[in-house]
Structure 1
Amino acid sequence: MSLRINDLAPDFKAQTTQGPIDFHQWIGDSWAILFSHPKDFTPVCTTELGYMAGIEPEFTRRNAKLIGLSIDSVDQHARWSDDIEQTQGHRPRYPMIGDTDLAVAKLYNMLPADEPGSSEGRTAATNATVRTVFVIGPDKRIKLMLSYPMTTGRNFDEVLRVLDSMQLTAKHKVATPANWKPGDDVIIAGSVSDDDAKKLFPDGWQAPRPYLRIVRQPR
């Protein structure tokens, strides 16, 4: 099953480093960042998990929960966490899913549904496609998917930036332009007529083109 933006995020039950979870129930009324890894004890992923552990408070401040996934057991995740803490200076405190039967990876279309076997004997190369970030909203729908090659570390500051944009645009009838950062000007959504825009943005806007209406970011 292929997944698209705004699809309902597949629900599942799994074992994690913080015990069993029912995914949708675990999300609750929060946002969720599910980020996956091909294999434990891999170099790029070690840096990623450590970095996410360091900036987890930034996600918490935005009502977003972190959860990792790797094609290995929960016991191995715990041992890997020791290495992450020792080499990166931060220990993951968020749950990490043990996906030894490949079930979640298949459910989220990171491995073929008919992929045989379990985590035993698999390598990072055979799990190479399991390197995706999913941002899931409180409505349990997929808001973002980012997939990276194994040799390129993910930019999790960008995930924070996108989360800020999505939370802003979910609350206000605006969109964010290229390279937007919190505090920058935004664009009035195309679905808003000029008459309605006058009510929403009484201070007016700049319009280099009729379809490009620029306003200050709503607070």
Structure 2
Amino acid sequence: MRLGAVVPNFSADSTEGKIQFHDWLGESWCMLFSHPADFTPVCTTELGRIAVHKHEFEKRNVKLLALSCDKLKSHCDWVNDIKSYCLDIKGDFPYPIISDEDRSLAVTLDMLDEEARNDPAVSMTVRALYIIGPDRKVKLSMTYPTSTGRNVDEILRVIDSLQVAARKPVATPANWTPGSHVMVLPSVKDEDIPKLFPKGVDTVKMPSGINYVRTTFDY
């Protein structure tokens, strides 16, 4: 699943019923992520924190979809533990968890490490995460080992970056956070800047004399 790849229109059972991915996605963005196994400590913290931050994903028009190779009943039972551990989760668990018992989807979506990929006896997925655009294409990929839990703030930051870049021909610099300046793409011609960035662009003078560092808050 390389950047720009179209995510196939898979069908899968989940804690919220059958999902036909393209129909379910609609015109939204999606964060599709795998966890190694139910009833494991780090996964409990991850799915819990993501559930608590669901409103932040909703503000960005991002749907949430989890996956592991456990049985559907296991997912349903485990959700109660997650809600008990993360007391900030109110009401029903706020996003579906896919059951991929035969590992077929995990293989298709490249969510297994090299050693486990071809071993049906090892069902554990790594912590793979894809941000998928409304065009069904992979916009961002993150892969963590099973030993490292993900950072929800960083996930939200990169979604903000992707959505800014989807609106205007810009890129976000190192350590960027929303509200900070962005970089105008080198492909943007100087004569097009007033139309694209009416609030202005600053050009940073470099020793090379090449005007390639252009920043703006107009996004």
TM-score for both structures, normalised by structure 2:
0.89
- SS of 1:109 mapped into structure 2: coil
Q: Residue 24 in 1 paired to residue 18 in 2? A: no
Amino acid in the other structure paired with 1:130: V
The equivalences for 1:151-170 within 5 A come to: 151-170=147-166
Q: Which residue of 2 aligns with 1:215?
A: 216
Distance 1:101 1:130 in 2: 16
Distance 1:11 1:204 in 2: 41
Distance 1:179 1:37 in 2: 27
In the TM superposition, residue 206 of structure 1 has moved relative to its aligned partner by: 2.8
In the TM superposition, residue 175 of structure 1 has moved relative to its aligned partner by: 1.0
Assess if the C-alpha contact under 8 Å between 1:206 and 1:215 holds in 2. Answer: no
Q: Residue 195 in 1 paired to residue 191 in 2? A: yes
The equivalences for 1:136-151 within 5 A come to: 136-151=132-147
Assess if the C-alpha contact under 8 Å between 1:53 and 1:93 holds in 2. Answer: yes
Amino acid in the other structure paired with 2:197: F
Distance 1:114 1:133 in 2: 17
Amino acid in the other structure paired with 2:25: I
Distance 1:114 1:160 in 2: 29
Q: Residue 115 in 1 paired to residue 111 in 2? A: no
Cα deviation, 1:113-170, whole Å, max 9, x if unaligned, reads 97354xxx64xxx62x531011000000001110111121101211111111111111
Q: Which residue of 2 aligns with 1:97?
A: 98
Q: Which residue of 1 aligns with 2:173?
A: 177
TM-aligned CA distance change 1:59 to 1:114, over 3 Å: closer
Q: Which residue of 1 aligns with 2:203?
A: 206
Q: Which residue of 1 aligns with 2:44?
A: 46
Amino acid in the other structure paired with 1:211: Y
Distance 2:85 2:50 in 1: 14
Task: Give the total of aligned pairs.
Answer: 209
Assess if the C-alpha contact under 8 Å between 2:12 and 2:19 holds in 1. Answer: yes
Assess if the C-alpha contact under 8 Å between 1:52 and 1:92 holds in 2. Answer: no
Task: Compute the RMSD of aligned alpha carbons.
Answer: 1.8
Q: Which residue of 2 aligns with 1:56?
A: 54
Distance 1:82 1:17 in 2: 12
Assess if the C-alpha contact under 8 Å between 1:188 and 1:197 holds in 2. Answer: no
Which stretches in structure 2 are left out of the alignment for 5+ residues? none
Distance 1:75 1:96 in 2: 11
Aligned residues with identical type, % of pairs: 46
Distance 2:170 2:63 in 1: 25
Q: Which residue of 1 aligns with 2:9?
A: 11
Amino acid in the other structure paired with 2:204: A
Which stretches in structure 1 are left out of the alignment for 5+ residues? none
